[in-house]
Amino acid sequence: MSSSKSLVVLTGNPNSGKTSLFNALTGSQQKVGNYAGVTVDKISANMNLSSIQVDCLDVPGIYSLDPISLDEMMATEVLKGISTEKEKPSLLVCVLDANNLERHLYLYSQLLETGIPMIVALTMVDLLPKGKKSIDIKKLSSILDTQVICVNPTLRDGITDLKNAIEAQLNKPSLPATNISPKPEGVSMVTHRYRWAAATKNEVLIDKQKSQIKINSDKIDRIFTHQFWGLLLFTLTMFIIFHSLYSLSAPIMDFMDYGFQEIKNLLSKYLVKYPLVKSLVVNGIIPGVGTTLMFLPQISILFFFITLLESTGYLARAAFLMDKLLGWCGLNGRSFIPLMSSYACAVPGIMAARVIPDPKARLATVLVAPLMSCSARLPVYVLLIGTFIEPLFGSFWAGFSLFAIHILGLLVAIPVIYSLNKGVLKTPSLPFIMELPPYQWPKWKDIFHSVFRRSKHFVKDAGSTILVLSIIIWALAYLPIKQPPENQILPQEITSSLKDSYLGKFGKIIEPIFEPLGFDWRISTAILASFPAREVIITSLSIMFQPEKERDELNLKEVLKQTKNEKNEPVIDGWSAIGLMVFFSLCCQCSATLATIKTETGSWKWPVFVFTYMSILAYVGAYIVQVIKHIVQ
């Protein structure tokens, strides 16, 4: 064995349990979902064995070594030892799903020809109908000429045995038989592989009684994938999710708001002798960072529901449904999962488009993925809905508004992608073939790990960005400071005018651009400040709409409602709040998303195109809201 670290690669069909197994072997917490295309990149981590440490690599799921998409090509290069980033694998762990053994054995028959030592990890054995079906492990191991280990990554069953088998193979490598059986004349190799796989499954599968599980699954799918009832259930599911985002998190947000107000009041008393520090902390950092963190409950709940849909197998049904519904405009069913993932964050959603085999269809999906309302847009939606819609119409319509603004991006994406496909990309009509995974009970441990990891990522990345920008925005909003009177040696308060500050003067310059949308200079400035990262809009509004001294106990919602302009009119009313939500729904205010588009497309012209067309859409959408306002009034 080489003195350098050995490379162990986990491979198998999509949705075979590879990533769950990778997490169990390495202690990682990578995303797990019950649908194809969860892993779209190579994921590596150290795996500690009893005597050695090795590199473990999880590659995207593939059906064969004949790739048709970017993610499959990436995985195949690693398995064939031609990847430029990694050395040739020392060992392959082929993950086979016990419930789909025949199809998964086809890939195994191809992996035999790579000349790399291999062992088999058999997953999903616990999903075989108890007392009705079982697999003869010894016979399967004998036919495959390699060691077969039954594993359940969620319960960590068989993980120690698998690690021991990996270590034994690395210390003393052995190759399984290099061919499956002599190929009859006149039969294609593909047909021969499938015949061998079917014969192997029939020989090792012990079917004691005909299972009714597939029949029940088919009955459920007749409803879930029905063009009418399936769409109705999908719409109802989305409505329940977004309504829950609003109703479930409200008490937690109120408690957090109260807590930040108390912290603000306490620090105001202790920092009274240090007016500059007091202003920075009380008027800059706490309103900026604190107000943004208040929306963490909603973001965590959104992550929870999306992960739940992924893990149960429903998301694959939704993709099948959307393919039949939206195929006319060029949205292939494979596009739906990247778009759905973009509701959490556009960056992994765009990367997930690698599973789409046609390059034009993949590019079209990438170009509209930012239209999906990601979790970073959620705080501004909740703030404006809670301030201007719920007090007038109640919680039901508040939840409906949140649902509607999230659906808006998908509705706008349909004509956009239709225009792209017909006018620019000329994407051909593509057949949609997708394996529907079996329904599964949620793996709660994996779900909560995923929610915790995503929420931690939001706090770490967004929090650090917001902290820095909070300080910058505070400085621009409170400078220059008026000089205190000569006889006042230690000023007790910082005297500054927001309107006369650097930020205020800049806002006045750009105000005419956004005035047709119903936005004054404060909102206009907050919009521009949020272009690097849209989460900053809450920070900007919190700092720029600071309450007057006599109203410093009011929270941001109350301040937004009570702030007047020079004409003694509300700075934000219900119409301008709707316009601001529409603007944020359609605008691409995320540098990370644009950078990812550049990486995935290999050119800056596409992120520039996305930023331009979405900015135009956002402006026109907000302007239409104002037109409707004038017609109604």
DSSP 479-507: -SPPPPPTT-SS-SS----TTTSHHHHHH
What's residue 246's pLDDT? Answer: 72
Residue after which a domain boundary falls, among 173, 191, 207: 207
Does a structural domain hold residue 438?
no
Residue after which a domain boundary falls, among 147, 180, 207: 207
Tens-place pLDDT, residues 105-136: 888 988 888 888 999 999 888 777 665 678 88
Residue after which a domain boundary falls, among 207, 227, 256: 207
Buried b (16+ CB within 10 A) or exposed e, 499-511: eebebbebbeeeb
What's residue 548's pLDDT? Answer: 47
What's residue 35's pLDDT? Answer: 42
The verdict on 250 and 163 lying in the same domain is no
Are 351 and 317 contacting, i.e. CB atoms less than 8 angstroms apart? no
Between 427-441, 573-587, 591-605, the lowest mean confidence (pLDDT) is in 427-441
Give the contacts of 570 (CB within 8 A, at least 6 positions apart): 561, 563, 564
Does a structural domain hold residue 305?
yes
Residue predicted with more confidence, 537 or 295: 537
What's residue 148's pLDDT? Answer: 92
Are 311 and 443 contacting, i.e. CB atoms less than 8 angstroms apart? yes
Between 28-37, 172-181, 260-269, 444-453, the lowest mean confidence (pLDDT) is in 28-37
The verdict on 280 and 361 lying in the same domain is yes
Does a structural domain hold residue 490?
no
Q: Evaluate if residue 408 carries a pLDDT over 70.
A: yes
Q: How many domains does the chain have?
A: 2
pLDDT bin (cut points 50, 70, 90) of residue 503 is confident
Q: What global pTM score does this model have? A: 0.66
Mean pLDDT of the chain: 79
The verdict on 12 and 77 lying in the same domain is yes
Q: For a pLDDT cut of 70, what percent of the chain falls above it? A: 85
Q: Evaluate if residue 13 carries a pLDDT over 70.
A: yes
The verdict on 239 and 194 lying in the same domain is no
* Alpha-carbon distances, residue 9 vs 19, 56, 88, 160 (angstroms): 12, 6, 10, 17
Query: Residues 287-302: what's their mean pLDDT?
Result: 76
What's residue 546's pLDDT? Answer: 67
The verdict on 136 and 248 lying in the same domain is no
Cβ neighbour number for residue 127 with a 10 Å cutoff: 17
pLDDT bin (cut points 50, 70, 90) of residue 581 is very high
Tens-place pLDDT, residues 460-490: 766 677 777 778 877 877 777 655 555 444 4
Q: For residue 71, give the H/E element and its range.
A: helix 70-79
What's residue 513's pLDDT? Answer: 92
Q: Following DSSP, what letter does each residue of 188-242 receive, concatenated?
A: -HHHHHHHHHHHHHHHHEEE-S--SHHHHHHHHHHHHT-TTHHHHHHHHHHHHHH
What's residue 210's pLDDT? Answer: 47
Angstrom distance (rounded) from CA 422 to CA 549: 58
Tens-place pLDDT, residues 531-576: 777 777 877 787 777 654 444 445 778 888 888 877 788 888 889 9
Give the contacts of 632 (CB within 8 A, at least 6 positions apart): none
Phi, psi of 82 (to 5 degrees): -110, 10
Domain span including residue 270? 212-424+443-484+498-633
pLDDT bin (cut points 50, 70, 90) of residue 514 is very high
The verdict on 199 and 263 lying in the same domain is no
Q: Evaluate if residue 92 carries a pLDDT over 80.
A: yes
